[in-house]
Amino acid sequence: MPVLAGAEPFHHEGGEVAVLLCHGFTGSPQSLRPWAEHLAEHGLTVSLPLLPGHGTRWEDLRITGWQDWYAEVDRALRLLCERRETVFVAGLSMGGALALRLAAKHGDAVRGVMVVNPANKVHGLAAHALPVVRHLVPATKGIASDIAKPDGRELGYDRVPLHAAHSLRQFFQATDRELPQVTQPVLLMRSPQDHVVPPADSARILSRISSTDVKEVILEQSYHVATLDHDADRIHEESLAFIGRIASALGKEPGLGKEGTTAGG
């Protein structure tokens, strides 16, 4: 199936500091594109892959599982690490969980983690019944476009295939067990009004990771897809400041923007 217009992966070859961005479940790179482009404009190398089964039609997601989604971001991270010494991972929703698992698995190869409304559990969907229900019902209603901004729109599926939701639940359980292995600096940005992922998920993540350098930012004006919402600029600013601080401590230049300013400026 051809990729939907706007859902294409994004890559920018920039400076020595790189960022891997991971999109969410049933979503696409479109939800993180402004963030990716902002980082690229400030001179960073950026990779934003399209996860298998996403960005086409929901039926394609039905025949994929969490191992496929994780393998894609793991591959993208390894490619970045081959070319760049200072690499950060970031993500929205399920993409946040993907980023956290990458940090847990890759250790010092990942210098820092930035997550927006990270997910830790499947809510609703009669989650505990998924192992059985997925064989009886192909899909349920979609979760895309939870955005406060009136003209905000996320390019995501209008249906959630239950086979994939079951796999997602397994992924969250596996990742939760691995959270204590996350020791890198973490920037967690969350929306108090989120109709997809409740605040309890962020609280659980913060209670489980072993990181000592942790900053939590509250996105008061946004819903779940905050990267396309009123607080998008705040996300851009906070992430650039976070990257700049960590990279500078490592003796690395975060990158030069179009105007010749550093990434934090």
Q: What is the mean pLDDT of residues 234-256?
A: 87
Binding residue ranges for substrate = 25, 94
Q: Cβ distance 226 to 238 under 8 Å?
A: no
Give the span between the Cα atoms of 83 and 137, in whole angstroms.
45
pLDDT for the residue numbered 250: 80
Q: Which band of pLDDT confidence, cut at 50, 70 and 90, is reported for residue 255?
A: low
Q: Is 194 annotated in the active site?
A: yes
More confident residue, 115 or 138: 115
**pLDDT score at 258:** 41
pLDDT of residue 127: 65
- What confidence score (pLDDT) does residue 257 get? 44
Contact 114, 102 (CB under 8 A): no
Provide the pLDDT for residue 124: 66
Q: What is the pLDDT of residues 38-73, one digit of tens each?
A: 999 999 999 999 999 999 999 999 999 999 999 999
Cα dihedral angle (248, 42, 75, 159), rounded to 10 degrees?
130
For 75-127, how does the pLDDT look when each residue is reduced to its tens digit (9 = 90+)?
A: 999 999 999 999 999 999 999 999 999 999 999 999 999 999 999 998 765 66
Among 23, 42, 166, 224, the one annotated catalytic: 224
Beta bridge partners of 47: 11, 20
- Give the residue numbers of the binding site: 25, 94
Q: What is the pLDDT of residues 160-172, one digit of tens each?
A: 999 999 899 999 9
Q: In terms of DSSP H, where are the helices of the chain?
A: 33-41, 58-62, 66-83, 94-106, 130-133, 162-178, 199-208, 232-249
pLDDT given for residue 256 in this prediction: 42
Catalytic position from the list 28, 31, 93, 202: 93
Could you give the CA distance from residue 117 to residue 257 in angstroms, rounded to a whole number?
27
Whole-model pTM: value is: 0.93
In the set 176, 194, 229, 231, the catalytic residue is 194
In the prediction, which pLDDT does 264 show?
A: 34
How many angstroms separate the CA atoms of 28 and 218, rounded? 24
224 has catalytic annotation = yes
Over range 16-23, report the average pLDDT: 97
The structure tokens listed for 216 are 């939590």
Task: Return the pLDDT at 123.
Answer: 76
Whether 167 is catalytic: no
Predicted local confidence at residue 223, as pLDDT: 97
pLDDT in the model for residue 191: 98
Asked if 101 and 72 count as a contact pair (C-beta separation under 8 A), the reply is no
Phi-psi region of 124 (alpha: psi -120 to 50; beta: other; left: phi over 0): left
